[in-house]
Amino acid sequence: MIIRPRRLRSSPAMRRLVAENRTHPGQLILPMFVREGLSEPVPISSMPGVQQHSLDSMRRAIAEAAELGVGGVMLFGVPEHKDAEGSGAIDPNGILNVATRAAVAEAGDALVVQTDLCLDEFTDHGHCGVLRERTHPVTGATELVVDNDASLERYREMGVAQAEAGSQLLGLSGMMDGQVAEVRDALDTAGHTDTPLLGYAAKYASAFYGPFREAVQSSLEGDRRAYQQNPANRREGIREVELDIDEGADVVMVKPAMSFLDVLADASAISSVPVWAYQVSGEYAMIEAAAANGWIDRRRAIEESVLSIQRAGAEAVLTYYATELAEWLRR
């Protein structure tokens, strides 16, 4: 007797009926860049279709996402002025906190307004933490390194500032050791016991962040390999996930998504909290570039890419396609 798996692929209706995974708008989170001082949105050249928003255009984009049933938005602030300490990150009148208040007012309870808790957009050196000088143990040369524990103090302040601005979930993306425990303690001490934390647990030092640098006007000097994870390491990703859960993360993240689907599947298998993944700027840009050249079917590539992330274990996906994909799903 011949086993015929094709019986269950014979028609669109049959394929829908036996599909193991489905995408729903409520599983999608839209990253958004809000730039200080804009009166109109500004296109991001390396991410066709994505913009740096003004406060007004952000409100319109949030209203559209909410109407389509998108699950949430993740806000990134792009300030006019930066300094070595990232002071704008804790300023109640800084762009991210101002945008958060406006976003919460616009969204109501239709979607979850989330905020990126990291210093890189706000520091003039572009690193995710505070720098300090040290003497190299071998060469004896003076060099600048990211000071983990000094950075945690800034994260504590930033977390409280974001919670007080109304953020409904804080995305801890800096990859400093102990960041989840420290921000949790700061929030609880300040009375924000109900504000959840998203730990960017397995965040790799990836080439696929390139277009994001333009989006946030990054002034990065050097690289982030001393604190983001080595792409060669799989087990290390799970160790980071377990640490974040132990420190009190309510959700954990794998980033980037598509080139780390193995880590995502591992995380999903062991996690006691929801696992999300971020389809990052470079992944978006590659699809757009290939589609613009006629090399791939754009819509099918978008749908397949997000579905593959879900199939690997992500219960929600941060993707710049969130609103567009939600519109297709509604149709």
Q: Which residues are catalytic?
A: 203, 255
Separation of alpha carbons 113 and 129, rounded Å: 24
Separation of alpha carbons 180 and 209, rounded Å: 23
Is residue 244 within 8 A of residue 273, CB to CB? The reply is no
- Beta partners for residue 32, in sequence order: 75
Separation of alpha carbons 324 and 321, rounded Å: 5
Residue 138 three-state SS: coil
Supply the DSSP string of 282-317, one letter for each residue.
HHHHHHHHHHHTTSS-HHHHHHHHHHHHHHTT-SEE
What does the CA dihedral 88, 91, 96, 100 come to, rounded to 10 degrees? 180
